[in-house]
Structure 1
Amino acid sequence: MPKKYLLVFLFLFPLFASAEEADISWWQAVKNSLSETWNSDKYELYIPANTWHNRATYDKDKIDSYNERPWGIGAGVYRFDQEGDWHALYVMEFQDSHNVIEPIGGYAYQTYWRPGNSEKWRIGIGYTLSVTARKDYNWIPFPAPLPLFSVEYDRLSVQSAYVPGVKKNTGNILFTWLRWQL
């Protein structure tokens, strides 16, 4: 199986994992999961906190010229499934590295480890399948599938996504925000 298909499978697995059990198609399972999330009555607020450019992959003059305080705001609808995993549909806007507003929106998923079986503390890992647009790309929307991780206490989360890079002075950015479940 080519690597790109394996990655797509791993990203979508939580959405269609129950399809076999319920004897429904994987596409129907994806639609069901998205519909359940969309129809949830639970909302959350996102407040961008930090954009860290990996010092090992950027020239100092580039880092010095970049904004690392991504002021902005976002909102989403979320739910926890039967296994305690988090699903969300969200939109957010923030100031990018060049101090220009960048919108992003999409679907996010995380599974959790609960230290000491705590009901309040959670450490999460997952992904987001999102779409964004940037001025330096002529505002053409493009996909942004990214890994997610978080440390959470009760309804407050410090959540981050890592934007990978393939060459010097691009990507390799850790984007962090606060997430408050209302």
Structure 2
Amino acid sequence: MKLSILILAIMFTSMSSFSQDQVVEEQNELAEKEHVETSQASQNFAQRWWNASRNKVTRIYDEGKNDFYLTLYAYHDRFTYTPEKLKELNEGAYGFGFGRSILNEKGNSEMLFAMTHLDSHSDLQVNVGYAWVKNFNFIGNSKLGVGYAAGLVSRSDFANRIPIPFVLPMGTIDLGNGTVNLILIPKLNDGINNGNVLFIFAKFSWDRKKEVTF
């Protein structure tokens, strides 16, 4: 009798252990499957994003108008900067650049740009990137736009001129072949003498297949 009970106990323990091992194995397989599916979903999203971005850049470059940029001014908020600091800063953001732009199927503007100009310390700054602007009819053929600019910037006072990414709000006043563009560099903390700068530049566009008109 005792031997039978011992055998039954051993069998029950073995079955319980096997059942637990099976449950753990199934949980591990499920977790691995979910991990694989998540990785595949992430890869698919990244691939779709890359393909869409590449197609967008290719379309703007192939079909867009030529753009010439004339950088004009960098206004520093008088409520953010002290009078002493303003005397040290350069607001004449003189420079130039080139790019291409297109009106997409929704009537919004997209552009690729590269420009160089004097920064607030009178050193050269380089910007390259992409901009998207939603247009609204204003007066006659003129339009107002609001959107964003994103890209890379290289400055003497940031990371030893190593390009760093940026995403900034952007506004436009479109007068036809000429556009006034405004990019806001906002203030990100409660300190003084930083941020709240309005960068202003003009854009002149022409069809590559037609005579240049400004």
TM-score range, shorter chain: 0.7 to 0.9
Change in CA separation of 1:126 and 1:41 when aligned onto 2, cut-off 3 Å? closer
Give the equivalent residue in structure 1 for 2:152: 131
Structure 2 residue identity aligned to 1:140: I
| Identity score, percent | 27
Runs of 4+ in 1 over 6 A off after TM superposition: none
* Structure 1 residue aligned with 2:78: 55
State the alpha-carbon separation in 2 of the partners of residues 163 and 81 from structure 1: 26
1:31 equivalent in structure 2: 54
Q: More strand by proportion, 1 or 2?
A: 1
SS at match of 1:90: strand
* Bigger shift: residues 38-47 or 55-64: 38-47
CA distance in 1, matches of 2:102, 2:64: 8
* SS across alignment from 1:105: strand
Higher relative helix content: 2
Determine which structure has greater relative contact order: mean sequence separation of CA pairs < 8 Å that are 6+ residues apart, divided by chain length: 1
1:154 aligns with 2:176: yes
Aligned to 1:44: 67
Matched AA of 1:96: D
Q: CA RMSD in A?
A: 1.5
Give the structure 2 partner of residue 143 of structure 1: 165
Which of the numbers 100, 103, 110 marks the counterpart of 1:80?
A: 103
Give the AA of the match of 2:146. I
| Secondary structure at 2:187 match in 1 | coil
TM-score (norm 2): 0.70
Unmatched 5+ residue regions in structure 2?
Answer: 1-46, 207-214
Matched residue, 1:174: 198
In structure 1, C-alpha distance between the alignment counterparts of 2:126 and 2:138, rounded to whole Å: 34
* Distance in 2 (alpha carbons) for counterparts of 1:142 and 1:171: 16
Equivalent position amino acid for 1:92 in 2: M
CA drift of 1:136 comes to: 1.2
